[in-house]
Amino acid sequence: MTLRTPLLRVRDLTVEFRLESGPPARALESVSFDVYPGETLGLVGESGCGKSTTLMALMRLLPVSGRIATGQAWFEGETGLHDLFALNDAQMRRVRWREIAIAFQSAMNALNPVETVGDQIREAIQLHEAVDRATADKRVAALFDLVGIARNRINDYPHQFSGGMRQRAMIAMALACKPKVLFADEPTTALDVMVQAQVLDLLKRIQRELGLGVVLVTHDLGVVAETCDRVIVLYGGRIAEAGTTDSVFNRANHPYTQRLLEAFPDVALSSERLVSIPGAPPRLNALTPGCRFAPRCHKAFEPCRSEVPAFWSVPGSDPEHVAACHLLDPRWEGR
Ligand SMILES: Nc1ncnc2c1ncn2[C@@H]1O[C@H](COP(=O)(O)OP(=O)(O)OP(=O)(O)O)[C@@H](O)[C@H]1O
Ligand code: SF4
Ligand SMILES: [Mg+2]
């Protein structure tokens, strides 16, 4: 058991999207995790498994059709852990960017094309903090240094930057108000391999320097292996397996994680996107009982289609390593 205090604690987060007709889509169910200072937590899984929904729910930026059905979240504020979901909109605006910030996949969409990058970052600072222009300008220059962009590019427009520089600028923007937690949703997916590696190195360095907690969403298990201390594997909105990256990758116990890793044989070297595994993810508005992976699982047996599997420790692994699979349930041992 760890005695560290998390920067962010999430418990039983369940998110639903209203659809035009029929029952809502349950995009996330009972998701729990902690984010600690100075660590990178990876969120992985196929498209539609709920990675972005997790981040957007915690930023309280879900579209109007989405709602947090149940769950709690606390972030570390000045006086200990604060209830994130109890904040009103004005309080949440203060928490966003100052406590938790997000960097998206597409820097081009996040940056305003008709304003210089420097001005945008300065405005972000001045919007959230009562600092004069000269102080804000100094902060912008320091942020450019931090993300490795020459200061003489401060007055450039986004289109004058390369893809990698725009992604660095977006990271600078996300860090403008000194958050403790950074969410990065596929921050390097649009970049070529070399630039991707540079941006990931940058994230790692910044995270160490600033003691940030980073939640990194990615399709790429190679990126997880390189970057993440711990990893959560999501399937159909539920956590399938979670633990230290080393343990999950070397002693994967959930058949879905095993399939993911098989589809990605050389995790340490590969930079390819995840290849899909046979079958399709569940329809979230017509969920069947039991394990969500059952229709695709080559190891499914009697209880899988009727009972939701509990989380079980993975034998011989670190205690944090858990998998939600009936195969680990002592009731079914030796079946
Ligand atoms: N606005 C919405 N209305 C209805 N359903 C939605 C909405 N946004 C997301 N969903 C559903 O929620 C599920 C989770 O979506 P989410 O975007 O979190 O997936 P993801 O893991 O980030 O996928 P990707 O890797 O493609 O970015 C999906 O099945 C999606 O269909
Ligand atoms: S609970 Fe059953 S269906 Fe689900 S992953 Fe385990 S064996 Fe497969
Ligand atoms: Mg996404």
Q: What is the pLDDT of residues 210-251, one digit of tens each?
A: 999 999 999 889 899 999 999 999 999 999 999 999 999 999
Whether residue 276 has pLDDT greater than 80: no
Structural domains in the chain, CATH included, are 8-99+180-192+210-289 (3.40.50.300), 110-178 (no CATH)
Each residue's pLDDT tens digit, 45-89: 999 999 999 999 999 999 999 999 999 999 998 788 899 999 999
Q: What does the DSSP 8-state code read for residue 297?
A: -
pLDDT recorded at residue 77: 82
Cα-Cα-Cα-Cα torsion 321, 325, 328, 331, nearest 10 degrees, comes to 140
Task: Please give the distance, rounded to the nearest whole angstrom, from the Cα atom of residue 98 to the centre of ligand 3.
Answer: 23
Q: 144-201, pLDDT tens digit by residue?
A: 999 999 999 999 999 999 999 999 999 999 999 999 999 999 988 878 888 889 989 9
Ligand 1, CB within 6 Å, residue ranges: 17, 25, 27, 47-53, 63, 65-66, 219, 284
Q: Which residues contact 90 (CB under 8 A, 6 or more apart)?
A: none
> What atom in ligand 2 is closest to the CA of residue 256?
5
Q: How far is CA 300 from CA 49, 98, 254, 259, 273, in A?
A: 20, 45, 11, 14, 27
Q: How confident is the prediction for the chain on average, in pLDDT? A: 91
Average pLDDT value for residue range 257-266? 83
pTM value surpassing 0.75 = yes
Question: How sure is the predictor about 269, in pLDDT bands with cuts at 50, 70 and 90?
Answer: very low
Predicted confidence band of residue 126 (pLDDT cuts 50, 70, 90): very high
The helix/strand/coil state of 125 is helix
Decide: 240 in ligand 2 pocket, CB within 6 A. no
- pLDDT of res. 265: 61
- Beta bridge mates, 41: 215, 230
Q: Would you state the pLDDT for residue 267? A: 55
pLDDT single digits (tens) 147-162: 999 999 999 999 999 9
Within 10 angstroms of residue 128's Cβ, the number of other Cβ atoms is 16
What DSSP element (H or E) covers 10?
A: strand 8-17
User: Of 244, 208, 200, which is closest to residue 226 (Cα–Cα)?
Assistant: 200
* Separation CA 45–CA 303 (nearest Å): 24
Q: Is the Cβ atom of 293 under 6 angstroms away from ligand 2?
A: yes
C-alpha atoms less than 13 angstroms from C-alpha of 305 in its C-beta half-sphere: 8
Considering only CA atoms, which of 262, 181, 187 is closest in space to residue 221?
Answer: 262
The kind and range of the H/E element at 127 are helix 117-128
